[in-house]
Structure 1
Amino acid sequence: MMIEVPTGDLKRVLGVLLDHAAKDGVLRVPDAAFWSVPAPAAYDIYQEPSDLTIGMVSDSLDNLAAIIRDPDRAIDHGLVWLAEVLRAAGDGAST
């Protein structure tokens, strides 16, 4: 089942959350390694994932920077990289 999410709503809430978390227009994100569970295993809650990978926040940021420099490089997986950065920012905000 797919859920339709209006992109305008996502843009608005992202703006609100970034304004809340960012100081002086800069979001401070810990550069850390993290466990990643690739799709589709991440969405199969009845099976323990066996194909864990390790990611780096700085690698995700580098991939996003490449998209900013050349928007033709945008791919759907870019949303995963963005989510990884936002997750680090949200988790790092409490440490």
Structure 2
Amino acid sequence: MKNNIEIQKEDLKKILFMLIDKLDDSPTDKFSLEKDLYWNIPDDKLYNMYQEPPDLTIGSLVEDWELLQKILRKEREVLWYDFYKVSTILNSIGHASII
């Protein structure tokens, strides 16, 4: 199995725009996330398949969304870590939308 993957920025942007288009196709203007808390695996353990993560922490979708809302209100700058915060929200929407 290949250990590394190269992703072209333009390809990633295209996929993200396609997902945004999928949001536009949704019959709803809101997404209700019924769950808040999730298990969070520390970054240094997340991709180590040879060792079970010993110290899980708890993340909160509510806190993640509140942090992202601060960007919209221009209360803080966008950070690279915000990709992770958006991913937790999208992950939850994706799971809730599976038929």
TM range (shorter): 0.7 to 0.9
Q: TM-score, normalised by structure 1?
A: 0.78
Q: Per chain length, whose mean CA-contact separation is higher, i.e. which structure has more relative contact order (CA < 8 Å, sep 6+)?
A: 1
Equivalent residue in structure 1 for 2:14, among 9, 12, 15:
12
How many pairs does the alignment contain? 95
Question: Whose Rg is larger?
Answer: 2
TM-score where L is the length of structure 2: 0.75
Is this contact kept in 2: 1:31–1:56, CA < 8 A? no
Deviates more, 1:66-75 or 1:35-44: 66-75
Q: Could you tell me which runs of 5 or more consecutive residues in structure 2 were left unpaired when the two chains were aligned.
A: none
Deviations 1:42-65 (A, max 9, x none): 011111001211112121111111
Report the residue type matching 1:10 in the other structure. Answer: L
State the percentage of identical aligned residues.
26
Contact 1:34–1:55 (CA<8 Å) still a contact in 2? yes
Corresponding residue of 1:44: 48
The unaligned stretches of length 5 or more in structure 1 are: none
Q: Which runs of 4+ in 1 moved over 6 A?
A: none
